[in-house]
Amino acid sequence: MIEISSNDRAFVLTGAGVSAESGIPTFRGVGGLWRNYRIEEVACPRAWQRDPSLVWEFYSMRRRAASKAKPNAAHFVLARLEKALGERFLLCTQNVDNLHEQAGSNRLVHMHGELFKSRCDSCSRMPFPDSKTYEPPDDMPRCECGGRIRPHICWFGEVPFEMDRIFAEIARCAVFLVIGTSGVVEPAASFVQLASGHARTIYVGPEDPWNARAFSECYSGKAGEILPGLIKVDGKAL
């Protein structure tokens, strides 16, 4: 049982596993390949330079899959945890879907970007909401400045978003809870080391992540199945 006091500060990190029960495939493990490409080969600036239509084909496929998905019990528990802790709570997700928002989360950082936003790869135009699909034979989308419109995603080799806010919240949390991530992609995989000196470090997922040894507690199971009964705030189930 994860007992949390409403005076505690909690930092929660989620990965693809939290959306798996909503029907969005995880990256690694079974079904982790797309048309024989590893994610690292399509989600990188080099792929964008070489073949932007291949990159848009990949993200169009992901937009289609994510637009049908609905939040599961794990997303709803985290929205209730936010309600219970208020400004002492931050949810940092590596996921680019919007299922946490759909479940009611507001204090949320998308460190790897957002699937339903796009931006220009040349000018400083702000990222904008975009749920369209761009696939051959359609033309690739262009900005008014002539630059290419790209997905608002942090690709391999790029710096994740809002790192200052993330580091500040990890530094002062008492509970550091990680759900459904394999613990191989940096910098998120190393966050647990930053928390372990001062916070309880807890992992929830069906299998041990690569960095399992860094956690003080691990709970084994699917997030949507076990999370609802696992967290208590001030002795009350969420």
List residues near ligand OAD by CB under 6 A: 15-18, 20-21, 26-28, 39, 43, 94, 112, 154, 179-182, 185, 205-207, 209, 222-223
CB of 87 to ligand OAD, least distance (A): 26
CB of 112 to ligand OAD, least distance (A): 4
**Angle, to 10 degrees, between the axis of helix 223-230 and the axis of helix 73-85?**
30
* Angle at 13 (CA atoms; ends 12, 15), nearest 5 degrees: 140
194 phi and psi angles, rounded to 5 deg: -70, -25
Closer residue to ligand OAD (CB): 88 or 204: 204
Burial 7-26 (b: 16+ CB within 10 A, else e): ebbbbbbbbbbbbbbbebeb
Nearest to 176 by CA among 80, 90, 84: 90
Closer residue to ligand OAD (CB): 5 or 26: 26
Closer residue to ligand OAD (CB): 9 or 20: 20
CB of 223 to ligand OAD, least distance (A): 4
* 110 in active site: no
Give the residue carrying structure tokens 């899959």: 65
Closer residue to ligand OAD (CB): 9 or 78: 78
Question: Which candidate in 75, 110, 112, 152 is catalytic?
Answer: 112
- For the chain, strand residue ranges (E) read 2-4, 10-14, 89-93, 108-110, 113-120, 128-129, 149-153, 175-179, 200-205, 217-220, 231-233, 236-237
Strand, helix or coil for residue 99:
helix
53 phi and psi angles, rounded to 5 deg: -70, -30
Indicate the residue whose CB is closest to ligand OAD.
17
Catalytic residues: 112
